[in-house]
Amino acid sequence: MSYLPANVSSYIILSIIFFINESLFSQTTLIPDTNFEQALINLSIDSDGTLNGQVFTADIANVQMLDVSMQNIIDLTGIEGFTDLEELDCSFNQINIFNISNNIKLFRLNCEQNNISDLDVSNNTLLEYLDCGNPEFDVAPRNSFRTLDLTNNPRLISVNTGYNVDLTDLDVSENQFLDSLVAPFCGLFEIDVSNNLRLRYLQLGTPNTFLNTPSNRLTSVDVSQNNILVFLSVDKTDITFLNLKNGNNDELVLVFTRLNPRLTCIQVDDENAANNNQFPYNNWEVNPESSFSEDCSLAIQDIEEDKFIIYPNPVASNLFLKVSNEIRIKRAVILDFSGREILRKENVDSEINVENLIRGMYILKLDTDRGIFIKKILKL
């Protein structure tokens, strides 16, 4: 057997290494958007430092974190070459060409406020954090997609789709690790969180009174299965049913249900504590029209006028109540329109003295053995 001289062997090895490196750096990935490429140059990722519409594939293949937010990028073509990418922030751009199907290691994505009309994360099965909404209702550019399929993202912990008014279909039933869902001012007609047993933060509404549209188009919200929930906002969602009876209301310390005039009954664990403004219910900010019950199916929603006759209205001193014989009034509460309790009377018979109230509009809430009755009254 013959052997090559040591210096020849070394030369061959170096030549092979050089050839491999040369091959790697001769492969390029197209970056057609000059703002995207300039951002890569600024981050010292594009090693040739020249705006030439491409980057060496070897430069980007091992990048794990990329922040190209606020760079006026329109086309994110070339992102497919970042095969090791785990975190991507491309928020506050104008991106409308966006394909991350090749970034299968991605676990954090922030693509908030762009021009994305179709967001496909079905290949990103390791995704844990997703921000894909808009920060405000009337700020351009805007992400605007009708559906968001998250069924292939079982590891998701946090999702923010806020202010995407075209989003009508959001299925989170497969996201069993979901801790936080933020989706105010979308176009949702329904939301099912019954499988999200780890959910602690749920924002579906916001009390933004500058916008005429509802925060969502929901009719009901049921979080009875979410017994570690801490925060809930359904402000201005126009809901008529809210079930908060999850067996652990003591944990649910922040609840906001404002600007929902048709929400007359909220189902809770302890109606007595809630109606007497005890913890945790004393921290909740609810609609003045709403009362609490452990079974809202018993609440009187569309009561016939002949069951409750209240007169005179407007009233100066005494408000008289004429109630059907089969209904017993347990208490009467008068609230101002901020929801603050002004007057309370237990064991009401047939009249309430309101002469000490200042002039203005109030809400009369009658707790009965048949449910809740609510009426607006005007004090003269």
**Which CATH topology does 308-379 take?**
Immunoglobulin-like (2.60.40)
pLDDT at 376 exceeding the cut of 60:
yes
Average pLDDT estimate for 138-155 = 91
Pick from 159, 167, 169, 113: nearest CA to 138: 113
Whether residue 17 is predicted with pLDDT greater than 90 in this model: the reply is no
Query: What per-residue confidence (pLDDT) applies to 19?
Result: 46
pLDDT of residue 374: 78
* Residue type for position 168: T
What is the predicted pLDDT for the residue at 26?
Answer: 62
| Single-letter amino acid, residue 95 | I
Give the distance, in angstroms, between the CA of residue 266 and the centroid of all CA atoms in the same chain. Answer: 20
Whether the pLDDT of residue 10 is over 70: the answer is no
3-state secondary structure of 119: coil
Coarse DSSP helix, strand, coil percentages of the chain, rounded to the nearest 5 percent: 15, 25, 60
Mean pLDDT of 318-328: 85
Q: Tokens standing for 369?
A: 């053995």
Q: What is the pLDDT of residue 348?
A: 82
Question: How many other C-beta atoms are found inside a 10 Å radius of the C-beta of residue 49?
Answer: 10
- Whole-model pTM over 0.85: no
- Which region among 106-115, 164-173, 302-311 has the lowest average model confidence (pLDDT)? 302-311
The mean predicted confidence, pLDDT, of the chain is 88
Residue 326 has pLDDT above 80, yes or no: no
Can you give the pLDDT at residue 140?
78
How far apart, in whole angstroms, are the C-alpha atoms of residue 373 and residue 320?
A: 15
Task: Flag whether pLDDT at 300 surpasses 80.
Answer: no
Q: Percent of the chain beyond pLDDT 70? A: 88
Residue 340: is its pLDDT beyond 80? Answer: no
Phi, psi of 9 (to 5 degrees): -60, -45
